[in-house]
Chain A
C-alpha cells in the first residue's frame, strides 16, 4: 500500500518569505507524486507532478518540488510567498488497485500568508 504524510496541518509565513510544505511518501514501487492546491470553496488544481526524469519539478505560480528518493520526500517550496498563495495544499501519490489508478492524498496543509 502507498501512503503520504504531510507534516504540519497549518503553516503560517509572512509575505515575501520562503514557503516550505513537507510531504513524505511510502511506496513499494517507484512513485508518481503530485501536489494539488485548493482555494476556498473550489476544487483541486494541479500545481506540479513528478513521474520520472528530472527530480526538481517546476509548477505553476512559482512553486517547485524536489523528489528525493533517499529521503522518500517531495517537499513543496516557493522562494517568496504572496497573499494569493493562501490555500490548502495536498500531496498525493498515485497507487493502483487492480487496474485502477487512484490518488492517495495526504491530510493537507493549510497555508496562511500574513503581511
Chain B
C-alpha cells in the first residue's frame, strides 16, 4: 500500500516568511509524529498526535512552530517567521497505535527539505 507522503519535497523561503509542510500518513494509522533532522542536532522529536487526544507538543523548539491534524489524518506543520536555523529536513512518521501494543514501528515519509535564506 501507499506509504507516508510529504509535500513539498523541497521548500526555499526567505527569512521571516511563514511556511506550511504537509504530511499524509498511511491509511488507518492513528498515530502521527513530526521530527526534524538538522546538521549538528541529529533527529529531534517535535510533536505527536494520537487519535483525538491532545497532541504532545513537548518537542516544539519555539512558539513559532505549530501543527494540526485535521480529521485524524492529514497533518500540517506550520513555521511562522522562519529563521535560518529552521533550515532542516522535516520528517513525518505514522504508526498504527503505540498504546497497549508490545511492538511499534514508525513508518517515515521522505521528508521536506526546508532552506531559509
Q: Give the interface of A toward B (CB within 8 A).
A: 32, 34, 36, 41-46, 49, 51-52, 90, 92, 94, 97-108
Contact = CB atoms under 8 A, between A and B. Distances in A.
Nearest to B97: A101
Does more than half of chain A's interface fall in helix, strand or loop, or is it mixed? strand
B60 to A, nearest CB: 12
B105 interface: yes
B111 A43 contact: yes
A108 B35 CA distance: 15
A52 B101 CA distance: 12
Contacts of A103: 33, 35, 43, 45, 93, 106
Contacts of B114: none
B4 A43 contact: yes
B48 A102 contact: yes
A99 B53 contact: yes
A46 B50 CA distance: 21
Nearest to A102: B45
Contacts of A97: 48, 56, 58
B: interface residue count bin: 20 to 34
A99 B56 contact: yes
Interface in B34-82: 35, 42-43, 45, 48, 50, 53, 56, 58-59
B108 A101 contact: no
B91 interface: yes
A102 B42 contact: no
A97 B53 CA distance: 14
Given A97-B58, A101-B48, 13 more contacts: A32-B103, A34-B105, A43-B4, A43-B109, A52-B102, A92-B43, A97-B56, A99-B99, A101-B31, A101-B98, A102-B48, A105-B43, A108-B43
A51 B91 contact: no
